[in-house]
């Protein structure tokens, strides 16, 4: 039977459907309108659901049909997992980070993994080759950095990259020759260098490290990083599906 997978992040929510471990559908969803998920459930009849919630907890009893709401697993540090956690404060750990690592593990079995989720914030997480989650780093996301330069200065404008710059197909000049391009260089290039440096340093500890990218700005980093990488927008959903199977 299909499973309903919900990713409720800081700024938006997504859903996916899986069947026998394969994703068959995914899209964004407006949590203020329950009709979408109800209609989806009427068509596909999922028998269980799992939700990763980063922001405010929605009212799942109204969002989901009552039979499915009673078979909803809320991801937490108490969920049964296919990996172990080495983290000093597991209650504060964003479990979406863990789920993305588990999703990457379904695609790459035998190596240490560095998983970068480039969304509102950028998270960097390490899963070693013995399937132990070793923690990571949290960085401001690209839009957050651009917004901060505008909000905390008197004269700098709020800059939006061109579409070709956002998706990484057009590199940002290292030396900007306008205020706009100087801001873009400082934000986009510096963030790129940070992730590159994290990958190189972690590779010293975990030789043959594999780098996975996910999140809204994954394409930018995938095309610009010198470190070999794999971009997959569905890592979190792949991980949620694996976790749900263990918690039915």
Return the domain boundaries, the chain.
1-74, 80-248
Tokens representing 51 are 């939700």
Which of 23-27, 79-83, 121-125 has the least mean pLDDT?
23-27
Given the residues 30, 86, 96, 125, select the one marked as catalytic.
Answer: 96
Residue 118: partners with Cβ closer than 8 Å, 6 or more residues away: 141, 142, 213, 214, 215, 216, 217, 218, 220, 221
Q: Could you read off the pLDDT of 136-153 as tens digits, one per residue?
A: 999 999 999 999 999 999
CA distance 25 to 36: 13
Beta-strand relationship, 48-53 and 72-74 = parallel
Number of Cβ within 10 Å of residue 31's Cβ equals: 18
Residue 70: partners with Cβ closer than 8 Å, 6 or more residues away: none
Strands (DSSP E) found in 141-243: 210-214, 229-231
Fold of 1-74: Nucleotidyltransferase; domain 5 (3.30.420)
Q: Could you read off the pLDDT of 98-142 as tens digits, one per residue?
A: 999 999 999 999 899 999 999 999 999 999 999 999 999 999 999
User: Which uninterrupted H or E stretch holds 133?
Assistant: strand 132-140
The reported pLDDT for the residue numbered 133 is 98
- Would 1-74 and 80-248 be classified into the same CATH topology? yes
Which of 19-23, 77-81, 193-197 has the least mean pLDDT?
19-23
User: Which uninterrupted H or E stretch holds 245?
Assistant: helix 235-246
The mean pLDDT value of the chain amounts to 94
The reported pLDDT for the residue numbered 185 is 95
Residue 22: partners with Cβ closer than 8 Å, 6 or more residues away: none
**Averaged pLDDT, 211-224:** 93
- Cα angle: 56, vertex 58, 62; to 5 degrees: 170
CA distance 210 to 110: 10
Instruction: Match domain 80-248 to its CATH number in 3.30.565.10, 3.30.420.40, 2.60.40.10, 3.90.180.10.
Output: 3.30.420.40
3-state helix, strand, coil split of the chain in percent (to 5) is: 40, 25, 35
CA distance 94 to 14: 17
- Cα angle: 205, vertex 102, 59; to 5 degrees: 135
pTM (2 d.p.):
0.94
Number of Cβ within 10 Å of residue 23's Cβ equals: 15
User: What are the angstrom distances between the C-alpha of 44 and each of 2, 39, 105?
Assistant: 7, 9, 27
% of residues, the chain, pLDDT over 90: 78
128 tagged catalytic: no
The reported pLDDT for the residue numbered 149 is 97
Number of helices (H), then strands (E), in the chain: 10, 11
User: Which uninterrupted H or E stretch holds 195?
Assistant: helix 190-205
Q: Does the pLDDT value for residue 74 go beyond 90?
A: yes
Q: Does the pLDDT value for residue 168 go beyond 90?
A: no
């Amino acid at each position: 039977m299909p499973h309903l997978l919900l990713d409720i992040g800081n700024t938006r929510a997504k859903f996916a459907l899986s069947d026998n471990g394969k994703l068959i559908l995914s899209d964004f969803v407006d949590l203020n309108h329950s009709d979408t998920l109800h209609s989806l459930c009427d068509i596909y009849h999922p028998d269980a659901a799992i939700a990763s919630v980063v922001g405010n907890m929605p009212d799942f009893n109204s969002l989901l049909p009552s039979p499915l709401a009673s078979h909803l697993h809320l991801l937490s540090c108490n969920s049964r997992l296919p990996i172990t956690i080495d983290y000093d404060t597991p209650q504060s750990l964003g479990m979406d980070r863990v789920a993305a690592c588990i999703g990457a593990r379904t695609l790459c079995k035998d190596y240490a993994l560095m998983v970068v989720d480039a969304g509102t914030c950028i998270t960097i997480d390490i899963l070693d080759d013995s399937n132990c989650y070793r923690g990571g780093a949290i960085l401001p996301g690209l839009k957050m950095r651009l917004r901060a330069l505008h909000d905390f200065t008197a004269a700098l404008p709020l800059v939006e990259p061109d579409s070709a710059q956002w998706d990484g197909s057009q590199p940002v000049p290292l030396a900007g020759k306008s205020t706009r391009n100087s801001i873009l260089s400082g934000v986009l290039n510096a963030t790129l260098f940070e992730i590159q440096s994290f990958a190189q340093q972690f590779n010293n500890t975990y030789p043959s490290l594999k780098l996975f990218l996910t999140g809204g700005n994954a394409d930018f980093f995938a095309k610009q990083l010198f470190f070999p990488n794999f971009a997959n927008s569905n890592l979190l959903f792949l991980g949620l599906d694996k976790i749900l199977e263990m918690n039915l």
